[in-house]
Structure 1
Amino acid sequence: MGKRLLLVDDEPFNLELMTELLQDAGYDTVQAEDGEAAWQILQQEGETFSAVLLDKMMPGISGFDLLRRMKSSSKLAFVPAIMQTAVGAAASVQEGLSSGAFYYLTKPFSRDMLLAVVAAAAVHWDRHQHFKELASQQAGALRHMNSASFSFHNLQEAQHVTSLLAKASPHPEKVATGLFELIVNAIEHGNLEVSYQEKTRLQSLEQWESELEKRLADPRMGQRRVYVDMARDAQALRFTIRDEGQGFDWQNFQDSAPDTLLSSHGRGILIARKLSFDQLDYLGNGNTVVATTYLAAQ
């Protein structure tokens, strides 16, 4: 059985077109012709969907209204919502991302772009579910851990560290998602010196995985490590992530530039800020970031 997607659009033609494209790619789809019908489906089986594709402008419950309902639900908050609209203005894109949309597609979009965005969202949901399952194991004892330090250099090691550290939080699956995004950035863009533009190009050429392996085997870059420190006090849980790269102009990625919001990657910082942590602070040249969760607020 393929991954399930909920498609929400008040235009039957759009629903049929997306259904055909996505089913041909191996996805199982469920259709909803308005926000009210979609909300009923989500309340009953929302966690079975890998992503929800929402039309922004619909009568009654709009795409934004449905998105806000999802984000207010503990069960649905992390289901990736892909907002679609004919409006491509920067302000509209920022509004969607600020409301919690995971991706933003402007109509008309290409088949390749649709499939790339849906695939990325499905990977994000699988990762969230994976961390949620891991976090349920021995979580109680680890929440008494007040400090910890780790260092590692590849993504497999990063997953193990992330799943362990997240268990120190009252909401481990929430923290794990953003923590892993920040660590991935530290490895790929920090230690391995992959620029945003390079990753876009390599993904389009289907050379991304081989390039990562090549750089990890490089005698200079491949020896670099990422350092993660966790510290807890009465008010907050803080994760400090440091890489051995040259840093980056982090100010430009705090809210993500509108052009990057329409591509298939580049939202790690935004995900961490909007979905996982109460505060995100980059230090110095950008190779150190402190992610904070306030315990009193939870």
Structure 2
Amino acid sequence: MSRSRILVVDDEPFNLEIICDYLEDCDYDLVTAQDGASALAHLEDPAQRFDVLVLDRMMPGISGMEVLRRVKQHERLKAIPVIMQTAAATPDQVREGLAAGAHYYLTKPFECDSLRAVIRTALDDQRRRAELADRIHEHVVAMQMIDRAEFSVRTLEEAAAVATTAALVCSRPEAVAMGLAELLVNGVEHGNLGIDFEAKGALKESGTWADEVRKRLSAPQNLAKRVRLTVQREGARWHFHVRDDGPGFDWQRFIELDPSRAFAPNGRGIVLARQIAFDEVRYDGCGNEVHAWCSDGMEVGE
């Protein structure tokens, strides 16, 4: 497997040096840029590929926000996760960055562990999306003939496989697969395994999240728990119903990305599902059931 490539952009050489020192013993290829123009030159070079962009918000000339906007408008670059590093952390400034597509944040000055944790999270998210996209083309014709289907999953790996398969019914399978994966993973982690927002953040920072998931999956009280997905055609829309066996959670906190959580390495899955995958997302009751709808893009029989 090739090493992950990270572009780090900051107009202060000292800050670039600190970040490179923090990541020195990580298995990454680091490229640096000291201004927005240089960053865009690297990004727009078709011979270069980047897995994560660590971007300073406040820079002279082309600002970090302008670089972010151009990246998210670029067809080849828009999927790159952007980690915004900034001292400008008021709620309005964070909302502006979130709206522009910066779903990962670091407040200057930050600790080595915080930087490593958010990069790991961004790379994990990116890798999962790439895997989902690779699987999309596998059973397209058969899935588009379905009117109703039911699935049941227990593990995160099963959730990813079911998400990519179920999304094939839609005209935008890549986006819907990512959104479905977020909802199913949420059902496994938070619903059935009881890993809440604070616990997952701590596990991500310590690098022990995967081990904790495996441990909880093997616990006797969790062996029979499932997350169930029903897919139903409703005219020109698809209805996805996800239900887990957990006690529910305070879903109202996560339906929008609160700027106070923007700096955490987790907690944005539901927001991403709403923003890029579905026309509508609605939780029921205590939060162990969620409904999502997306337009099919064509009427039945086309």
Fold in common (TM above 0.5): yes
**Which residue matches 1:86?**
87
**Which residue matches 2:52?**
51
1:1-298 matched pairs, under 5 angstroms: 1-45=2-46, 48-296=49-297
Looking at structure 2, the residues matched to 147 and 62 of structure 1 have their Cα atoms a distance apart, in angstroms, of 48
Report if the CA contact (8 A) 2:170-2:295 is conserved: no
Report if the CA contact (8 A) 1:47-1:76 is conserved: no
Looking at structure 2, the residues matched to 245 and 73 of structure 1 have their Cα atoms a distance apart, in angstroms, of 40
Looking at structure 1, the residues matched to 164 and 114 of structure 2 have their Cα atoms a distance apart, in angstroms, of 31
Q: Deviation at 1:246? A: 1.1
- Which segment drifts farther, 199-208 or 175-184? 199-208
CA root-mean-square deviation? 2.3
- Which segment drifts farther, 156-165 or 228-237? 228-237
Looking at structure 2, the residues matched to 89 and 48 of structure 1 have their Cα atoms a distance apart, in angstroms, of 32
Q: Deviation at 1:130? A: 0.9
Cα 1:92/1:231, change in 2 over 3 Å: same
1:182-235 CA distance string (max 9 Å, x none) = 111101111112222222344455543333233222333331111111223443
Looking at structure 2, the residues matched to 43 and 235 of structure 1 have their Cα atoms a distance apart, in angstroms, of 38
- Partner SS, residue 48 of structure 1: coil
- Identity fraction in percent: 41
Q: Which residue identity lines up with residue 236 of structure 2 in the other structure? A: Q
Cα 1:75/1:280, change in 2 over 3 Å: farther
Report if the CA contact (8 A) 1:143-1:170 is conserved: no
- Which segment drifts farther, 116-125 or 267-276? 267-276
- Partner SS, residue 102 of structure 2: coil
Report if the CA contact (8 A) 2:117-2:205 is conserved: no
Q: Deviation at 1:181? A: 1.4
Looking at structure 1, the residues matched to 246 and 168 of structure 2 have their Cα atoms a distance apart, in angstroms, of 28
Looking at structure 2, the residues matched to 180 and 96 of structure 1 have their Cα atoms a distance apart, in angstroms, of 24
Cα 1:49/1:205, change in 2 over 3 Å: closer
- Which segment drifts farther, 146-155 or 112-121? 146-155
Looking at structure 1, the residues matched to 237 and 58 of structure 2 have their Cα atoms a distance apart, in angstroms, of 39
1:23-42 CA distance string (max 9 Å, x none) = 43121012222223322322
Looking at structure 2, the residues matched to 39 and 23 of structure 1 have their Cα atoms a distance apart, in angstroms, of 24
- Partner SS, residue 39 of structure 1: helix
Q: Which residue identity lines up with residue 135 of structure 2 in the other structure? A: L
Q: Which residue identity lines up with residue 27 of structure 1 in the other structure? A: Y
Looking at structure 2, the residues matched to 74 and 114 of structure 1 have their Cα atoms a distance apart, in angstroms, of 27
- Partner SS, residue 167 of structure 1: helix
Report if the CA contact (8 A) 2:255-2:270 is conserved: yes
Q: Which residue identity lines up with residue 53 of structure 2 in the other structure? A: V
Cα 1:256/1:163, change in 2 over 3 Å: same
**TM-score w.r.t. length of structure 1:** 0.90
Cα 1:274/1:28, change in 2 over 3 Å: same
Q: Deviation at 1:267? A: 1.5
Q: Which residue identity lines up with residue 137 of structure 1 in the other structure? A: E
- Which segment drifts farther, 16-25 or 176-185? 16-25
1:96-142 CA distance string (max 9 Å, x none) = 12221120111111111111111111111111111111112333443
Cα 1:206/1:42, change in 2 over 3 Å: closer
**TM-score w.r.t. length of structure 2:** 0.89
Q: Which stretches in structure 1 are left out of the alignment for 5+ residues?
A: none
**Count of residues paired in the alignment:** 297
- Partner SS, residue 133 of structure 2: helix
Q: Which residue identity lines up with residue 40 of structure 1 in the other structure? A: A
Q: Which residue identity lines up with residue 279 of structure 1 in the other structure? A: E
Cα 1:51/1:45, change in 2 over 3 Å: farther
Looking at structure 1, the residues matched to 108 and 268 of structure 2 have their Cα atoms a distance apart, in angstroms, of 20
